[in-house]
Each structure stands twice: as structure tokens, then as C-alpha cells.
Amino acid sequence: MAQAAPSLSITAPSDISAWALAPDGSQPKTQSGTLSVTTTSADGKSWSVAVSDNNSVTNGRMTKHDGASYVSGTKLGTPMQVVGPAGTVTLPLGGPVITGSGNVTSANYIITFSQRVLWSDAVITGPSSYRLSVTFSGSIQP
């Protein structure tokens, strides 16, 4: 009997468009979301979801964006960290935030984005803003 092709489905947390980043108050500033994973025909195999920032301009730090492109000279002083059940990773390289094995169906995991804001970080006003793109990559491993 032919074996069904293994499949992997991930639903990453929603974009964070409203995040008050200020150096006062408790640090780091955090935002949480849910990541959902479904695997089929993955019997006995390990799988993981890793997080990274693949953009060499931002390099793991929220960077000024003028609406058209990044302004690479203006970044937050500390890189973003992402926290998941498998541990805390620091961008840009990041690493696994969720690991598992075998089949799961719509398994939900809490993911927290953690950003420290310093008094020395540049204040920017509209239309520019700080931006960063984070990629959640899932894979089933042989």
C-alpha cells in the first residue's frame, strides 16, 4: 500500500501592528500570540518550528522604515527575542521555539515576542516606523 505523503501545516501568530514601544515602564515589552501546528503521516518523526529574521538589513533588530524601504542606520539597540515552549531564541539566527514528534492536530502553542527598548533608541514619528519581519519555519526531519 502506498504511504500517504507527509504534510505539515503551520498557522503563525498574527502580525503585530500596534505595539507601544517606549523605554519607560517595565522591560522588556512583550506581545503574545498563538502558533498552531498540524502534522500528518509523520509517525515517529521529529518536527520543529524555528523562528528567524532572514533580512540582512534588519538583522534581528526593529529598523526604521520610511514607508518605501528600510533606513538601515536607525535600529533599536537590542535584537528581538522570541519565546516558545522549546526556549528563548534571539534574532536574527533564532532557532527552534517548538519541537515535537509524531502526528499532532491543531496543537496550539503560545509564542511571545520580547523587545527591550532603551532610552538611547531613536524616537521616530510618522510616516516612518520601526519594522521587522519574522519568519516561522516548520519542518519534519528524517
Partner 1 sequence: MKHSTTIARRISLLVLLSLVSAIMPSFFAVSAVSAARGLTVTGVLLVTDVKPGETLNHKMTVSIGDGDAATEIGVTVAEVGQAEDGTYIVLSAAEESSVYSARSLITVDRSSFPLQSGQTQTVTATAKIPSSIGEGGRYAIISIQTKPVGQPGVGIASAVNVPVYLTVANTNLVHKGEITGISVGEPSAGKPIEVLTSFRNMGNHHFKVKGEVTVSDPNGKTLDTIHVAPTGTSIIPTMTRRLNATFIPRGVLPAGKYSVKSKVMLEDGAILDEHTGVFEIKQTYVPPPAAAETVLRPLAAATLKTDDGRISVTFPQGAAVGEAHLGLRSYSRDLLPSAPEHLKLAATFFRVDGLNGLLAKQATVAVKCSPADMEAAEGDASRLVLARWDESDQRWYVIRTAVDTRTMALSARTDQLGIWAVMVKDSPSSRVPWAGLSVLAVVAVVCLGIVLFVSVRRRKD
| Cell numbers found for residue 105 | 492536530
Other beta carbons less than 10 A from residue 115's beta carbon: 21
Other beta carbons less than 10 A from residue 142's beta carbon: 5
Map residues 83-122 to x or -, x wherever contact with partner 1 holds by CB under 8 A. ----------x-xx--x-x-x-xx------x---------
Site for partner 1 in 42-61 (CB under 8 A): 45-46, 48, 50, 54
Contact positions vs partner 1 (CB under 8 A): 1, 4-19, 31, 36, 38, 40-41, 45-46, 48, 50, 54, 62, 65, 80, 93, 95-96, 99, 101, 103, 105-106, 113, 129-142
